[in-house]
A and B are shown apart, each in its own frame.
Chain A
Amino acid sequence: MLEEGDVTTVVAPMLDAPLVIGGREFHSRLLVGTGKYATNDDMMRAIQASGAEMVTVAVRRVNLNRSTDESILHHLDPSRYFLLANTAGCYTADDAVRYARLGRAAGFNEWVKLEVIGDPQTLLPDTTGLLDATRTLAAEGFKVLAYTNDDLITALRLEDAGAACVMPLASPIGSGLGLLNPFSIRTIKSRLTVPVIVDAGVGTASDACVTMEQGVDGILMNTALAAATDPVRMAMAMRLAVEAGRLAYLAGRMPRREIAVPSSPTTGMLE
């Protein structure tokens, strides 16, 4: 019996290998955030519909003056979803390391989605701070998933610094502008050994599909679902788009040609 949020088309394991990050296998290549949903119910139904196994969360002070200020763990079952704590909002390596350690102390895992932001207008990463924090945390045994820009050299340095996964942006966080530089993303993917997951900027299903067609290992998104008029429908669309893009990449697209080539026989035409 189908329930709301179930999607029947799942790429069969025989058609694709699992996504492996830091020695752990995931069967969904779509990772989702938990921010900015209108309600917790919308969030949970969208996450379920997305098929995501890994979900990001932020670390913030408990609001001691507001009884309604609830931990997300009241809604999100950590035995069902793999929690990935982020360091969103951190502008220095030291702050990001502190937040990462706080996230680890919650007791679920030693993974972190590492952000060191360099500019409040664009939320683009401070790559120097990002590299410093990656080195520090990797040395402490963290699995670092590093949010970065679409620069190959930084991506290579992050891998050298011990990142378990490099996460270049499609476009700025929350912008929904889609994949601005497919060439850069393809280049990064072709040169790195660790998984490459595109993080940020995907706005709708076609963006997700084109991004996966570049050969990357997965996509992390939040606003595209949370800010959709119907987050559950968009979550289903994204799940299908990620799978479609992945399959298309694995299938190998036809060559591009600048001239037409007929699909029907050119012989046997009537006199």
Chain B
Amino acid sequence: MSAGTVRRSIITPVVNGEPRAIAAGSTVADLLRELQLEARLVVVEHNRTILRDRTTYAAQPLASGDTIEIVHFVGGG
């Protein structure tokens, strides 16, 4: 396998401020699985659009340079 092929098979969206290498063709659902995050406990914002319907995660493809924010509830006043 050439180096060029390897590069093309990886994409690097920016997840919570850090570029993260994942397999090309990955969706939001794939990313959460890789990060071992339970979808029901998080909220995902993709390129500044909040994904309000979690059932769309598996149909939401990611690309290099995409901005993903994954947030959750923590203690606060």
Contact = CB atoms under 8 A, between A and B. Distances in A.
Nearest to A99: B71
Interface stretch (A59-67, A125-133, A187-195, A258-266): A59-67
From A35, A36, A56, A106, name the one whose CB has the most chain B CB atoms within 10 angstroms: A106
B73 A62 contact: no
Interface in A30-88: 33-37, 43, 56-62, 64, 71-74, 83, 85-86, 88
B12 to A, nearest CB: 14
A60 B71 contact: yes
Nearest to B41: A71
B58 to A, nearest CB: 17
A83 B73 contact: yes
B43 to A, nearest CB: 4
A134 interface: no
Given A102-B43, A102-B50, A60 B74 contact: yes
A223 interface: yes
Interface residues of B, number: 25
Given A64-B16, A71-B42, A58 B73 contact: yes
Contacts of B43: 59, 102-103, 105-106
Given A64-B18, A64-B35, A105-B50, A59 B77 contact: no
B45 interface: yes
Contacts, number: 95
Contact of B75 (A58, A62, A105, A221): A58
Nearest to B48: A98
A56 B76 CA distance: 6
B59 interface: no
A21 interface: no
A214 interface: no
Contacts of B40: 107
Given A60-B71, A62-B42, A102-B71, A173 B77 contact: yes
A101 interface: yes
Given A105-B52, A106-B43, A62 B76 contact: no
Nearest to A60: B74
A57 B45 contact: no
B21 interface: no
A222 interface: yes
Contacts of A73: 41, 72-73
A104 B54 CA distance: 13
23 contacts: A34-B75, A34-B76, A34-B77, A35-B75, A58-B74, A58-B75, A58-B76, A59-B71, A60-B76, A61-B16, A62-B16, A62-B42, A62-B70, A62-B71, A64-B15, A64-B16, A71-B41, A74-B41, A85-B73, A102-B45, A106-B43, A106-B73, A220-B77
